[in-house]
Amino acid sequence: MELVLFLVTAAIALVGAVAMLVSRNAVHSALFLLLNFGAIAVLFLLLRAPFLFAIQVSVYAGAIMVLFLFVVMLLGAERAEDGRDELFWQTPLALLLGVVLLVEAVMIAVRGGGRETGADTAPVPITGAETFGAPEEIGRVLFTRYLLPFEVAGIILLVAIVGVVVLSRRAMAAEEA
């Protein structure tokens, strides 16, 4: 059962990622990215990492998506659409995938994160599995081994936001002149 949940969630994540890349509308791309973030969150549940699941949902699917949509709306990319709905099949597919993702998350939560009882079905121990996804371990690794990439990613995000604001102000000033 856990393998089936993994395969379905992985397929949803891959479809969401590909659709995000090929979508011409920036808002649709952001929504496909949100679908991908949700699927990745469910994969964290399958890995028995509830803290990473919560972080994935709150930070990426919450805060980062709000930031992306704010930037998209600031640039006016949503107005670039010509009104034709060439991809009419996306709405029913998105609803179906959302329902499948919700059912999977509920099944994982009800089953206790995929933990099964009994000696026959005990999971194979992985080195460091008892601390995988623990907040203490994530903090220790993030702020020791990966401190420089963490800081560089923050600076890149800040520079990107400042660049978008500067470019949009230039565009608005050019339109007014």
pLDDT in tens, 38-55: 999 999 988 888 888 888
56 near 37, Cβ under 8 Å? Answer: yes
**Looking at the predicted structure, is the pLDDT value of residue 139 above 60?**
yes
41 near 53, Cβ under 8 Å? Answer: yes
**Looking at the predicted structure, is the pLDDT value of residue 132 above 80?**
no
57-70 mean pLDDT: 80
| φ/ψ of residue 76, rounded to 5 | 75, 25
Residue 89 host element (H or E): none
The whole-number pLDDT of residue 69 equals 75
- Local confidence band at 113 (pLDDT 50, 70, 90 cut-offs): low
- Spans of all domains in the chain: 2-78+89-119
Q: What is the DSSP letter of 31?
A: H
Average pLDDT, rounded, for the chain: 78
Burial of 161 (0-12, 13-18, 19+ CB in 10 A): middle
C-alpha–C-alpha distance, residues 106 and 71, integer Å: 33
Q: At a CB cut-off of 8 Å and minimum separation 6, what does 37 contact?
A: 56, 57, 60, 61, 64, 65
| Site of tokens 């469910």 | 42
The CATH number of 2-78+89-119 is 1.20.120.1200
**pTM tops 0.85, yes or no:** no
Lowest mean pLDDT among 2-6, 102-106, 144-148: 102-106
The whole-number pLDDT of residue 125 equals 45
C-alpha–C-alpha distance, residues 28 and 20, integer Å: 7
**Looking at the predicted structure, is the pLDDT value of residue 25 above 90?**
no
